[in-house]
Structure 1
Amino acid sequence: MATVAWEDEWELCNDDGFVYKRKKRRQESIAPAPAPDLEAEEKQRKERKKRTLTKLREQYQNEIDHWEFLSNTLRDIETRTLQQQPSSSLSSTQLPLLQLPTSESQCRSLVDDLLLQAEAHEAIIQDVSYLCDVAETMCKAQEDRLKQSFIDLPVWGSPGSLMASLSEE
């Protein structure tokens, strides 16, 4: 950029063919900025890093606690299911399809076994439903935290000032 002196207070500037005038810049003596305190800056940086890592560790620990809770609940479901099923009960793959029991006592025992299986399945479904509710709650909380991080941006200001600026036009 070429600059040509023009009068005392203005200068002519040529910026790749775009010619314009601007006020001359004065060379004033500016007091040198105080030397930055490197030790204090390093200490502040370490404190920020420590706070950030502590916050991150707490978030990870909370997530690990949630997953351990879900894992323990699932393990409890499995043990209760195994305890509820009698050793003589038949699984659905072991039920004879073509052989029908002939005596009434055999029919009752088969019905009882099937009833126990149905109750065990119901308990499993309820426990899994509960786990799904817990997982959904965790996801919703994470989504709310993410939304809040965008809402807390300083760009928005207060809701009143935002509404006032939108309604001015």
Structure 2
Amino acid sequence: MTTMAAYRVFAEGETEICDDDGMIYKRKKRLRTSAPSSPLSVTAEENNDKERRVRRKTTLGHILKKRRFEIEQWERFSSVMEDLELSAKQNTRDTVVVSVQESSFAENTDVAIPIIDDAVRQVLAYEATVDKILSMCDLVDRRCDAREEAFIHSLSALPIWETEPRDLLTSLSKC
């Protein structure tokens, strides 16, 4: 079997013994130099590299877009929680101011009424805060459920589940 290689002929009279599938013969000695790699294989490798880079770039772009969306959601969640904290602090400040004003006037009036009003305001503020927190927790639960469902769907969509279990076991035992 000869390949398409470049040969350099040695000096006159130098020979080499060749074995070609059991046929032994003498021929003039030649130096084999490796043929340059074909330009087709180089371009194929370059094309594969380019395709791999393009796939990687698009995949990273999708992941980046997904993560940006998640970050925006968490920032909104954080701002809502900060608003809740501020409103809770504002409600407690208002109740303190009201209780101080009412305590100065409470000398002549019934003492229990301002205390009860203050307690009712605090309970209403806490109730509003708890309702907002519960709604945020429901939102997070729905998001987690959707993510879990997507993960389960991606696992169940694998081609390995399309075969019969016996076929799968036989193919694994052949390996």
Q: TM-score range by the shorter chain?
A: 0.5 to 0.7
TM-score, normalised relative to structure 2: 0.59
- Misfit runs of 4+, over 6 Å: none
Residue 84 of structure 2 is aligned to residue 77 of structure 1? yes
In 1, distance between residues paired with 2:69 and 2:98?
41
For residue 156 of structure 1, give the secondary structure of its aligned residue in structure 2. helix
Structure 1 residues 88-107: aligned runs within 5 Å: 88=97, 104-107=109-112
Structure 1 residues 34-113: aligned runs within 5 Å: 35=41, 37-85=44-92, 86=94, 87-88=96-97, 104-113=109-118
Which residue does 1:96 correspond to in 2?
A: none
In 1, distance between residues paired with 2:154 and 2:64?
18
Which residue does 1:11 correspond to in 2?
A: none
**Which of 154, 163, 170 is equivalent to 1:149?**
154
Which residue does 2:170 correspond to in 1?
A: none
In 2, distance between residues paired with 1:134 and 1:44?
40
Which residue does 2:126 correspond to in 1?
A: 121
How high is the sequence identity, in percent, across the aligned residues? 25
In 2, distance between residues paired with 1:117 and 1:89?
12
Is the alpha carbon distance of 1:146 and 1:89 closer, same or farther for their aligned partners in structure 2, counting shifts above 3 Å?
Answer: farther
Larger Rg over CA atoms: 2
- CA RMSD in angstroms, aligned pairs only: 2.7
Following superposition, the deviation at residue 118 of structure 1 comes to: 0.5
Aligned length: 119
Structure 1 residue runs without a partner (length 5+): 1-26, 28-32, 91-100
Letter in 1 for 2:146: A
